Structure 1
Amino acid sequence: MQCSRHNLNVVSAGNGLIMGWVRFFEGKRIFDCIGSPNTAHPVPVHVEEIKDIITVAHYILVVEKESVFQRLANDQFCNANRCIIITGRGYPDIPTRRFLRLLVETLHLPVYCLVDCDPYGFDILTTYRFGSMQLAYDTKHLGVPEIQWLGAFPSDPERFFVPKQCLLPLTAADKKKIEAMLLRCYLQKEVPQWRLELKLMLKKGVKFEIEALSVHTLSFLTESYIPSKIHSKVII
């Protein structure tokens, strides 16, 4: 029909979660995350009905996994860092991506993404920024070109002393996926530094999960890794 599902009012059930310093209406329903910034709320499905967005946040943080989202909630991360946190719980669905796009366009806040250091985490990162191949026609409604990669980088293990036992060898399927992603023209044209990190992952032949950064202390991710990366601008 040469139009997006957005124009046809086709809405899928949302899978994403949000918490942090933001308040808005979805129709007549109020989402008051500010009253309890470390409590998770479902991402609203009817994004076109959202209005009156208010925030005192300094930035938006997108995390790949619900387990990391929950760790940030348990550590009262939003209280200490005045941010908004969103997770798509893996590959983000359409409501999550549309909602994130709306927040960035409306609030003009920096937006950072934290994913596992593996081919699938990298693919999730590119889905947020550039959209997916299956929904390429809808990229203008779903992509977030402002998003920056906070981590985890293939170069992080040496910098943050990740033990070798936390590094897993890339499988044959992992290597095949990386090689295919390296051929994507937009990586070379728009985010060449991302492509260099992806090549480094393939060269080193290892991957690791975000949780590996907290192997020395559970609070390392929330108290050191994320704040230091943002404050020192160690993002790409």
Structure 2
Amino acid sequence: MEGKWMSSQSQSPNFHVLAKIKEFTRSIVTDLSNGQSPVILIHRFRNHCTNPNSNCFCGSNLPCGKDVLTLCRESHVHRIDVMLKVLLIVQKLLQENRHCSKRDIYYMHPSVFSDQSVVDHAINDICVLMQCSRHNLNVVSAGKGLVMGWIRFFEGKRLFDCISSPNKVHPIPVHVEEVKDIISVAHYILVVEKESVFERLANDQFCSANHCIVITGRGYPDIPTRRFLRLLVEDLHLPAYCLVDCDPYGFDILTTYRFGSMQMAYDTKHLRVPEIQWLGAYPSDAERYFIPKQCLLSLTAEEET
């Protein structure tokens, strides 16, 4: 059941994913018919390079080991069961050309899934098996990102005209693959960690004085925000800067934008923005500018770990 990692071809993404689902389920039925337990190989990925002397981002391009699932091991049975239930839902979504959220999927079988994280894990397994991104499954995240500034684009037939009022806040599109006809006169992209900072910039008419695009993921960025930022950097060839707090959470958010997340390391090459540059206070600034220790916050036990 281990497929080759291949580039996309001429047919629609739905066609390819549906074909792979059919091939995968047929192999399971064949094994069961022959009295054998299916063996499901799921590649594992990392989102960093393991060469300490390298400054590249090759870690997420190739798998690094496999999870071997089989019905012969009791601990694997539930994982396979959940994956097949989610796969059936995905197949129906693709056949009917509909979309739904991860939360919608959870509520279809809450007694089986028991927790949202179980569904999330199954979706990641399916993406790796089908060699695709989550949006190719017609599974979307509830968007929470915001954008403003000197940009205009379409999401399908819906127009997002930020240029006519650059300080007006717009939601980042959930269906980023449908974003097209991007027009911008911005000089750079600014990503801010917190919604409160984003709102302050909007209230201060920041974009009127600065020809830029401002984005926030409102904390840890969701997938649409990361994909949208990646799309803008690729299409507009603009420098991108990230303003985060000088604490472990801020660093984690910065690295999520730049390198991707461990949970979705298999798809990091479509989500990371390695060009993004860090703005804000550095830990070394405390000594460089002789900031009194009473002005600094101590790390909590959770932050230290």
- Length-normalised TM-score, structure 1: 0.71
**2:278 alignment partner in structure 1:** 149
1:59 pairs, out of 188, 205, 219, with: 188
| Match status 1:130 vs 2:259 | yes
Q: Hey, what's the Cα distance between the residues in 2 that align with 1:6 and 1:139?
A: 14
1:91 pairs, out of 210, 216, 220, with: 220
Aligned partner letter, 2:170 = H
**2:161 alignment partner in structure 1:** 32
Q: Secondary structure at the match of 2:135?
A: coil
Q: Hey, what's the Cα distance between the residues in 2 that align with 1:162 and 1:74?
A: 30
Q: Hey, what's the Cα distance between the residues in 1 that align with 2:196 and 2:275?
A: 25
Q: How many residues align?
A: 176
**2:240 alignment partner in structure 1:** 111
Structure with max Cα Rg: 2
Aligned partner letter, 1:167 = L
Q: Hey, what's the Cα distance between the residues in 1 that align with 2:273 and 2:242?
A: 11
CA spacing shift, 1:164–1:102, aligned 2, 3 Å? same
For 1:157-176, list aligned pairs within 5 A: 157=286, 164-176=293-305
CA spacing shift, 1:18–1:166, aligned 2, 3 Å? farther
**Unmatched runs of 5 consecutive residues or more in structure 1:** 177-236
Q: Hey, what's the Cα distance between the residues in 1 that align with 2:268 and 2:218?
A: 20
| Match status 1:101 vs 2:230 | yes
Q: Which structure would you say has the larger RCO, counting Cα contacts within 8 Å and 6 or more residues apart? A: 1
Q: What RMSD in Å do the two structures reach over aligned CA positions? A: 1.6
Q: Secondary structure at the match of 1:6?
A: helix
1:42 pairs, out of 166, 171, 174, with: 171
CA spacing shift, 1:39–1:135, aligned 2, 3 Å? same
CA spacing shift, 1:170–1:70, aligned 2, 3 Å? same
Query: How far 1:104 moved relative to its partner?
Result: 0.5
Q: Secondary structure at the match of 1:112?
A: strand
What CA deviation, in whole Å up to 9, does each residue of 1:66-108 have, x standing for no partner? 0110111111111111100000000000010011110011000
**1:82 alignment partner in structure 2:** 211
Aligned partner letter, 2:187 = H
What CA deviation, in whole Å up to 9, does each residue of 1:37-69 have, x standing for no partner? 111100001111111100010000000000110
- Length-normalised TM-score, structure 2: 0.55
**1:15 alignment partner in structure 2:** 144
